[in-house]
């Protein structure tokens, strides 16, 4: 906003004392003698952008962090210092094409880059500050959570993802539901008439910018006429958020169903598999393959200790984890491993990335599962459930979920006009 102050100067004419009677006219003129500009702060990522020259762009194919910084006049010793001291905070090798970034430059003619801000997603970002001592830190933008409700009925020939997307809901809800019910409902085999209700949260930045879905607080899924409840609850004894049913049983198993968040089951465990390339001879496949783009994170399916992280023959780069005296898992064909032998990993930790090392016809992870030293099919194993909620916590839990159950009951299903497309269930 600009404000101007002027001083009104008035010129006065006086009648002459001489013989003439001519009258000089009086004039009034407003002349601004001083102009001041007040600039309101423009705060982003904790910086007043008015103090810098701001450059915004996205990472392009072929970009490297070092070249970006050198092009913006950051001295090489500072770049080297960052890569050595802060590689756990910001791995310069893992900047991704399409990710937005901002460079804050000095306002003088040199325009030296002083701050680099890398936006990992709409909420999380990393700041590299080259002023004086080089520093790097991760931060999150302030997020507002808004509770939402949704429901749907699976139509004839439809799928959960179709029902979600056609309502204009975030596709990620499909993934969330599939993870919550991973061991109780097969989402590849839903039936017409199966239905769901959910209470979840949406995230907003500055109360207006949509930043994705938050956690599902409560869910009801009816599959083949059988009801399945799920309620998110903090297990204080384990300091972890879990999903429990209406009887306080844990919906999670000791193993994740798959080692990827997103991917496609491309080949199952099959001891009688025949391959055309080998003349249709029996070539047993003792793994379960999940296809996904190169670079997709691979997750540990359960807690355990890394017993191998190496490269060998047709397996390519791989990681093997011992979970207990009964179970071990192995993850093949990685682009790179993130863990080393002897490390303890938690269920869901990233242990490497999808690649094509070893004998493979495309990017995927071959997931192998051992029980008592013998490879078995993980999708056919009856794996133990996680511990139910402790008896001492149940009174508080039931008091917490009762209002959520009532709220679920009050959510309506798909409008009646779409119900005629459903197959009548007997």
Residue 259 lies in a domain: no
How many angstroms separate the Cα of 346 from the Cα of each of 160, 265, 389?
A: 30, 23, 20
Which residue in 28, 50, 25, 30 sits closest to 40, CA to CA?
50
For the entire predicted model, the pTM comes to 0.64
CB atoms within 10 A of CB 326: 11
Q: Residue 263: what pLDDT?
A: 75
Residue 53 β-bridge partners: 105
Same-domain check for residues 22 and 50: no
Q: Residue 26: what pLDDT?
A: 43
Per-residue pLDDT of the chain (426 residues; tens, 9 = 90+): 444 333 333 333 433 444 444 444 444 445 454 555 566 668 889 999 999 999 999 999 999 999 999 999 999 999 999 999 998 899 998 899 999 999 999 999 999 999 999 999 889 999 999 998 999 999 998 899 999 999 999 999 888 999 999 999 999 999 899 889 987 887 878 899 999 999 999 999 988 889 999 999 999 999 999 999 999 998 776 667 889 999 999 988 888 888 998 778 888 777 666 555 555 665 677 888 999 999 999 999 999 999 999 999 999 999 999 999 899 999 999 999 999 999 999 988 999 999 999 988 899 999 999 999 999 998 888 877 778 888 999 999 999 999 999 999 999 996 534 444 444 433
CB atoms within 10 A of CB 32: 9
Residue 381 lies in a domain: no
| Burial (0-12, 13-18, 19+ Cβ within 10 Å), 221 | buried
Per-residue tokens: 162: 């179709």
Residue whose tokens read 């429990």? 244
Q: Residue 361: what pLDDT?
A: 83
Same-domain check for residues 306 and 365: yes
Same-domain check for residues 287 and 363: yes
Q: Residue 298: what pLDDT?
A: 96
State which of 140, 169, 195 marks the end of a domain: 140
Same-domain check for residues 101 and 119: yes
Residue 200 lies in a domain: yes
Same-domain check for residues 99 and 131: yes
Same-domain check for residues 272 and 314: yes
Q: Residue 36: what pLDDT?
A: 54
Same-domain check for residues 173 and 240: yes
Residue 67 lies in a domain: yes
Answer whether 68's CB lies under 8 Å from 105's CB. no
Answer whether 93's CB lies under 8 Å from 147's CB. no
Number of domains the chain is built from:
4
Same-domain check for residues 117 and 161: no
Residue 296 lies in a domain: yes
Which residue in 95, 96, 99 sits closest to 82, CA to CA?
95
Same-domain check for residues 349 and 368: yes
Domain of 283: which CATH number?
2.70.70.10
Q: Residue 279: what pLDDT?
A: 59
What does the alpha-carbon distance between residue 20 and residue 395 come to, in Å, rounded to a whole number? 108
Backbone angles phi, psi at 135, to 5 degrees: -135, 160
Q: Which domain holds residue 313?
A: 264-376
Domain of 409: which CATH number?
3.10.450.350
Which residue in 243, 235, 269 sits closest to 179, CA to CA?
243
Same-domain check for residues 132 and 148: no
């Amino acid at each position: 906003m600009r404000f101007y102050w002027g001083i009104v100067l008035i010129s006065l004419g006086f009648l002459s004392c001489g013989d003439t009677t001519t009258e000089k006219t009086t004039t009034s003129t407003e002349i601004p003698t001083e102009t001041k500009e007040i600039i309101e702060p423009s705060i982003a990522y904790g910086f007043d952008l008015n103090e810098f020259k701001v450059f915004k762009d996205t990472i392009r194919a072929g970009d490297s962090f070092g070249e970006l910084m050198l092009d913006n006049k950051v001295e090489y010793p500072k770049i080297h210092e960052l890569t050595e001291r802060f590689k756990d905070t910001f791995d310069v090798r893992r900047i991704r094409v399409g990710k937005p970034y901002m460079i804050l430059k000095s306002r003088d003619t040199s325009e030296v880059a002083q701050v680099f801000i890398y936006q990992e997603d709409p909420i999380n970002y990393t700041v590299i500050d080259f002023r004086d001592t080089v520093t790097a830190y991760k931060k999150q933008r302030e997020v507002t959570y808004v509770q939402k409700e949704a429901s749907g009925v699976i139509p004839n020939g439809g799928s959960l993802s179709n029902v979600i997307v056609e309502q204009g809901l975030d596709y990620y809800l499909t993934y969330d539901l599939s993870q919550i019910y991973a061991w109780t409902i097969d989402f590849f085999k839903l039936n017409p008439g199966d239905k769901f209700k959910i209470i979840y949260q949406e995230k907003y930045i500055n109360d207006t910018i949509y930043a994705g879905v938050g956690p599902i607080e409560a869910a009801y899924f009816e599959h083949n006429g059988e009801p399945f409840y799920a309620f998110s609850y903090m297990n204080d004894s384990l300091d972890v958020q879990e999903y429990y049913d209406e009887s306080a049983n844990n919906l999670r198993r000791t193993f994740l169903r798959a080692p990827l968040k997103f991917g496609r089951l491309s080949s199952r465990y099959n001891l009688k598999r025949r391959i055309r390339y080998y003349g249709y001879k029996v070539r047993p496949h003792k793994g379960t393959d999940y296809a996904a783009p190169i670079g997709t994170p691979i997750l540990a399916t359960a807690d355990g200790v890394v017993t191998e992280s190496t490269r060998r023959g047709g397996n390519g780069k791989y990681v093997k984890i011992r979970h207990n005296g009964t179970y071990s898992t192995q993850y093949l064909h990685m682009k790179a491993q993130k863990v080393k032998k002897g490390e303890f990993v938690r269920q869901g930790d990233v242990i490497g990335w999808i690649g094509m090392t070893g004998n493979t016809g495309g990017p995927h992870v071959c997931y192998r599962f051992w029980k008592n030293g013998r490879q078995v099919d993980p999708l056919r194993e009856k794996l133990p459930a996680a511990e139910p909620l402790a008896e001492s916590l149940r009174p508080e839990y039931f008091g917490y979920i009762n209002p959520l159950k009532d709220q679920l009951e009050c959510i309506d299903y798909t409008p009646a006009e779409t119900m005629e497309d459903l197959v009548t269930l007997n």
